[in-house]
Amino acid sequence: NLKLGAIIATADPRDRKFRQILKAHQDASPLFRGIRKMASWHEDSGIYRWCDEAHLYQSKKFLKGFEQLAKMDLSFDAWTYSTQISEITKLAKQFPQTRIVIDHLATPAGLFGPIGKKTGQTPSQRAAIFQQWRHDLAVLAEQKNVYAKISGLMMPVLGHRFYQQYRTATVYEMVNLLTPLIQHAIQVFGPDRIIFASNFPMDNANATLSDLIQAYIEMITPYGDQAMYSIFRQNAANFYQLN
């Protein structure tokens, strides 16, 4: 008997009618809670760019519009690659009362294998990606208005290649690969600012939803029942102000 709890809409803060668009979303449904605007733009041109502007979250037009989101007490789903985490940190500092969640733990492209034209090509490059991601995520977590979603971690852009073997990753393989990311995220954000999300169908190239959920359960179990409840339910309810 699951029912829709909230709606996260799309809108571009650079739009000159941004406030009217937010009001229209509110008028359309009482479940409207905020927006998502992707800013994923990698300096490696071989990696797909999900927005039309580098450094979107720090552009003057974006920040001017974002003021309206803040005034209306709406949430913001942010998504960047790990090379851009500092831009989310700046945004969170500029709007400390606005709830921001970083989707997919900021997608460290190339962490698990070569991607694009020059990213993650060698073990040393991949180690550097991981260390920079760890540092930047820890700095972001210092902003208490920011939450993090454990999601999207089996997307091909991270360098996973299970789909090339015509199979999906096993629960064991996912636990082995993802545990360092999950442990670090929980360490820096704490179990009360981590939100589970599926990111399907984007992850289904490398994983099934049931296996992915089981892998997350196994990775979170050591933190106890309360952490499990928080990450899989209560944190989302708090962030999105679910009734």
Question: Would you say residue 219 lies in a domain?
Answer: no
Question: Would you say residue 175 lies in a domain?
Answer: no
Q: What is the pLDDT of residue 191?
A: 98
Q: What is the pLDDT of residue 3?
A: 87
Question: Would you say residue 174 lies in a domain?
Answer: no
Q: Would you write out the chain's pLDDT as a tens digit for each of its 243 residues?
A: 788 999 999 999 999 999 999 999 999 999 999 999 999 999 999 999 999 999 999 999 999 999 999 999 999 999 999 999 999 999 999 999 999 999 999 999 999 999 999 999 999 999 999 999 999 999 999 999 999 999 999 999 999 999 999 999 999 999 999 999 999 999 999 999 999 999 999 899 999 999 999 999 999 999 999 999 999 999 999 999 997
Tell me how far the alpha carbon of residue 81 is from its chain's centroid: 9
Q: What is the pLDDT of residue 2?
A: 80
Helix/strand/coil percentages in the chain, nearest 5: 50, 10, 40
CATH number at residue 62: 3.20.20.140
How far, in Å, CA of 196 to CA of 235, rounded?
9
Number of domains in the chain: 1
Cβ-contact 143, 89 below 8 angstroms: yes
Q: How many CB atoms lie within 10 A of CB 71?
A: 12
Question: Would you say residue 5 lies in a domain?
Answer: no
Question: Would you say residue 179 lies in a domain?
Answer: no
Question: Would you say residue 47 lies in a domain?
Answer: yes
Q: What is the pLDDT of residue 51?
A: 96
Question: Would you say residue 50 lies in a domain?
Answer: yes
Q: What is the pLDDT of residue 117?
A: 98
Q: What is the pLDDT of residue 193?
A: 99
Domain span at residue 162 reads 33-168+197-209
DSSP helix/strand/coil, 2: coil
Q: Give the count of alpha carbons within 13 A of 49, CB side only.
A: 13
* Nearest CA among 82, 83, 94 for reference residue 58: 94
Q: What is the pLDDT of residue 1?
A: 75
Q: b/e string for 121-148 if b means 16 or more Cβ within 10 A?
A: eeeeebeebbeebbebbeebbebebbbb
